[in-house]
Chain A
Amino acid sequence: MSAILPPSERVWYKHPIDRVEGTWIAIALTWCLVMFFMMIGWHIWGKQNLSTETYRTTAEQYTAKVQAMVDKYTVRTETEQKIPVVAAPPGSDIFLVARLWSFWPILELENGKTYRLHLSSMDYNHGFSLQPANINIQIVPGYEHVVTITPNQSGPYSVVCNEFCGIGHHTMVSRLYVK
């Protein structure tokens, strides 16, 4: 019963290691390094890396930018709330507002084209969960996060809020179109 007794040797540190342990440590360490360099390697060769471009912002500043985009590029409206559907040209900055309990506006993108998607929240933390692609990004109030995206499949997508944001959280869902 010696895990609950002091070690039998005074200088236990010099006690030799069994080969089964030594072998396993070597294998495990190798695997750990593989995983570490995989993350770094993906930044170099991989195509899915979350941008860290971020700016401090306020609800007013951000709303003004979104409104400018909506005024310029709205193509139609949807639902009874008349949510604008915005089709900004490829390569441009596009903005999405998360607030209690909706996303605004609906974005329409072109397949294979690149956009700079800005995300910010007007109030609490929210989640940007793009389904069924299953891309999940946190939206934090006071911060404007700029993510460069390139859709690779056309179709209707849903944007689901997956950060708890109060009693209406389950109604916070919107669309995103890729043509």
Chain B
Amino acid sequence: MSTATTYRTCPRSGLQFEKNAESLMKANAFIGVVWLLIGGILAIGVVLTRWPAVHWLPADKFYMVLTAHGIDMLIFWIIFFEVAVLYFASSTLLRCRLATPRVAWLAFALMLVGSVLNNVTVFRGASSVMMTSYVPMMAEPNFYLGLILFAVGALIACFVFFGTLVVAKREKTYDGSVPLVTFGAITAAIIAVFTISSGAIILIPTWLKSVGIVHEVDALVYRTVWWAFGHSSQQINVAAHISVWYLVAAVAFGAKPMSERVSRMAFLLYILFLQLASAHHLLADPGLSTPWKVVNTSYFMYFAVLASMIHGLTIPGAMEVAQRRKGYTKGLFEWLRKAPWSNPTFSGVFIAIIGFGFLGGISGVMMGTEQLNMIIHNTIYVPGHFHATVVIGTTLTFMALTYYLIPVLFKREMVLPGLAKWQPYLFGFSMYFFCLVMMGAGTLGVERRHWDMAFGGSPLAYEWPGAAYLMMGLVGIAGVAAIGGGAIYILVTVGSLLFGRRLEDGEVSARFVPLPRAAPTVIAQSYGSAGFAAPGTFALARVFLISFVLYYFINWKYLSTLWGLS
């Protein structure tokens, strides 16, 4: 069966875009960025209210804005963009037509309608239940309906992705195994299927409760199953942004994965175990047994942490190998000094890798330890952690990818390149600081999702230490700087789409050009005597490990001074 479509070969990247897939990628990425813009505007309200000296919004508005900020950023922005990444990793990288483009547009429409319906409902003001919407606190029915429609759309998009893999295999558009980046996208899509199924299992009865058909949804069952949706949706991000890291290593350096086997086995560990970490949110809960907590919170003996540590070595390692091959071999770090630091695609990704590992990774494992969670649960340390993973890790990576896609996919020359060059630094480093001070305040016990540190003058109010107020003030300042960095991103991307010089399409043909295998490189044959192909990366990895071990045991020490609990 042949479908009438055309293929465009991009003259700037050599990538081949199928017409339907290209339009769908543009639409999904664009709507994603619109949600990022809305979520970013809402962030102003959150940050300026939690900054104690400013304390801007009244309580009802704050909780409404915080609810929308969480959903728009963690669900809508990221999943719209991820659908674009899935179509890119299947159709573009495999040079294959997209399976069932009409169904893909249906998925897009469902996601769009669902996300708008959810947000409109939130802004009516009676659904300020936070992203988590724990029962029995109820939102209006359309809050859940919007999320369900969005989830169904996203699930359909995942199956369009799987369908495209089938088409590519059947029509032999590539030879051998799928590229590593596509394999990473498969990982993300698999996690997405689990995530969205869990979301459906719990949100559909909750929606039925909100319209009066179902009488009770158990509070603890809700928390357990909801987190299989809420946390795993962020694991989709991890798989997706790590795939993008491999992609950027390939396009920015021509880097080859150090070992296909190692990288793919690491993704396999994600597929099997990463979703279990949803238990991180239930370690301080009643009712769940200790073995359940230990097995799940540790991703079955920390196998997904092992996988992340592997990716953390192999991605910079692949960059190092590629740079050394170009002759940057002096000392441990010449390869890094001579990296293209003024290219925002590279700098964004590198800042994301370091921030995700050092800030997001270490803090996540620490607070995901069953006992240590008691000193962290529901404090502002938690958003400190996930802003390091989701904002520094995923959002910054997707921003970096956008800079690559503006000329390649959107066929526009980037406007304000000078500003774009600085954007990853401003956004990334202000987020580093933001996360650090948030974790600092959380270590002192400051609550998340709380309108007033001073407890509104309650007679039994607790007086937070001055350091906590100082930290929260710094959270405000760093947050404002990060929002500025986000605004530059929006300015550059939207400005480029509107005013950027139009670039040529490249050659259009009615048939795909089959994808060859990668040429064997020197490194593939020179293994053996030399060993240690990436000594600089290994040194960085050791610094990471030492920080990890120290921080981990410092927290055990802190825990051991607490009241006896058994």
Contact = CB atoms under 8 A, between A and B. Distances in A.
Contact of B552 (A35, A114, A169): A35
A173 interface: yes
Interface residues of B, number: 117
Interface centre among B258, B378, B535, B560 (most CB of A within 10 A): B378
Interface in A20-68: 20-21, 23-25, 27-29, 31-33, 35-36, 38-40, 42-43, 46-52, 54
Interface in A111-163: 114, 119, 123-125, 127, 129-138, 140-145, 147-153, 158, 160-163
Interface stretch (B186-194, B336-344, B388-396, B440-448): B440-448
Contacts of A21: 258-259, 262, 310, 313-314, 317
Nearest to A157: B462
A162 B527 contact: no
A72 interface: no
B260 interface: yes
Nearest to B66: A164
Interface residues of A, number: 90
Contacts, number: 327
Nearest to B558: A134
Given A4-B181, A142-B218, A158-B460, A48 B564 contact: yes
B517 A125 contact: no
B432 interface: no
B560 A158 contact: no
Contacts of A151: 563
B250 A162 contact: no
Interface in B127-162: 130, 134, 136-137
Contacts of B518: 1-2, 5-8
Interface stretch (B3-11, B200-208, B449-457, B488-496): B449-457
A54 B293 CA distance: 15
Contacts of A4: 93, 179-181, 247, 250-251
B303 interface: yes
A144 B220 CA distance: 12
Given A125-B134, A129-B445, A135 B369 contact: no
A8 B290 contact: no
A130 B374 CA distance: 10
A68 to B, nearest CB: 21
Contact of A20 (B178, B179, B305, B537): B537
B454 to A, nearest CB: 8
A52 B290 contact: yes
Contacts of B301: 32-33, 36
Contact of B219 (A5, A80, A140, A174): A140
Nearest to A37: B301
A166 B379 CA distance: 17
Nearest to A174: B460
Interface stretch (B17-25, B503-511, B541-549): B541-549
A132 to B, nearest CB: 7
Contacts of A175: 460
B287 A143 contact: yes
B347 interface: no
Interface of B: 59-60, 63, 93, 130, 134, 136-137, 174-181, 218-220, 223, 246-247, 249-251, 254-262, 282-290, 293-294, 297-298, 301-303, 305-306, 309-310, 313-314, 317-318, 365, 369-371, 374-379, 443-445, 447-452, 455-456, 458-462, 464-465, 515-521, 524, 527-528, 531-535, 537-538, 541, 545, 548-549, 552, 556, 559-566
17 contacts: A3-B249, A4-B181, A8-B519, A18-B531, A21-B317, A35-B369, A48-B563, A48-B565, A49-B371, A51-B566, A79-B459, A124-B136, A131-B445, A136-B377, A138-B377, A140-B220, A143-B220
Interface of A: 1-10, 12-13, 15-21, 23-25, 27-29, 31-33, 35-36, 38-40, 42-43, 46-52, 54, 78-80, 114, 119, 123-125, 127, 129-138, 140-145, 147-153, 158, 160-167, 169-171, 173-175
Given A6-B516, A46-B371, A48-B562, 11 more contacts: A2-B257, A8-B524, A20-B531, A21-B313, A36-B301, A39-B298, A39-B369, A136-B284, A150-B563, A152-B561, A170-B450
